[in-house]
Chains A and B, each alone.
Chain A
Amino acid sequence: NAGVTQTPKFQVLKTGQSMTLQCAQDMNHEYMSWYRQDPGMGLRLIHYSVGAGITDQGEVPNGYNVSRSTTEDFPLRLLSAAPSQTSVYFCASSSSRTSGSHEQFFGPGTRLTVL
């Protein structure tokens, strides 16, 4: 299993540009989440999904969109990039509560710089 994969690893954008960060998992996990990590602030939840077709906002959703058309994929879209969105982005997935496991598995991260 590849686990949770993210592309790209690095990205530089100019203010106002849009882009999509890709996330995929091959563990058949129902739950997927996007976090951003900034120095001194830990990881903050952007959006999450409890299954295909279902998404909800986390702590810092403004400026980001998500969709979940399949169980495997959970892309994060930046609509109009701003310097405040410079961060490291992590995607994570976890199994259903009914299986008893609560562990969230993280992808390798995408380092995004907005100029």
Chain B
Amino acid sequence: GENVEQHPSTLSVQEGDSAVIKCTYSDSASNYFPWYKQELGKRPQLIIDIRSNVGEKKDQRIAVTLNKTAKHFSLHITETQPEDSAVYFCAASPGNFGNEKLTFGTGTRLTIIP
């Protein structure tokens, strides 16, 4: 089955600086890659996603890049703010099943230092 590795497990960034979180996946059939943000005690919420036919997607301060050849994708947060502090999860899903069979990474705890 799919295996998703996520690094780093913790990340501290000065407010205003950029943060980058990286994930690798093993199943070349995966073609959907979402990123979820989870605040303490809350449910995961989708912040951005990308499909394998796209190399990069941007939404305001958040961007995701995908390298299918190398099987890795990354989350970029620019101009970080205190409210960006949370745990971020990447995930991958094989094309045959669509989006209901997500395999998640182990998460990155991002702390924004004021």
Interfacial residues, chain A to chain B (CB-CB below 8 A) = 31-33, 35, 40-45, 48-50, 58-59, 90, 94, 96-97, 102-104, 106-109
Question: Is the CB–CB distance between A104 and B106 below 8 Å?
Answer: no
Alpha-carbon gap, A106 to B43, bound state (A) = 6
Contact of B102 among A32, A40, A50, A104 (CB under 8 A): A104
The interface residues of chain B, by DSSP majority, are classed as: loop
Q: Which range contains the number of B residues in contact with the other chain? A: 20 to 34
Q: Is B82 an interface residue (CB 8 A)?
A: no
Question: Is the CB–CB distance between A42 and B101 below 8 Å?
Answer: no
Write the nearest CB–CB distance from A56 to chain B, whole angstroms: 8
A-B contact pairs, 23 of them (CB 8 A): A31-B98, A31-B99, A31-B100, A40-B9, A42-B104, A42-B106, A43-B44, A43-B104, A45-B102, A48-B100, A49-B100, A58-B101, A59-B1, A94-B100, A97-B98, A102-B51, A103-B99, A104-B34, A104-B46, A104-B99, A106-B43, A106-B44, A109-B43
Alpha-carbon gap, A90 to B43, bound state (A) = 8
Write the nearest CB–CB distance from B10 to chain A, whole angstroms: 11
- Chain B residues with CB under 8 A of A43: 44, 89, 102, 104
Write the nearest CB–CB distance from B74 to chain A, whole angstroms: 17
Alpha-carbon gap, A90 to B44, bound state (A) = 9
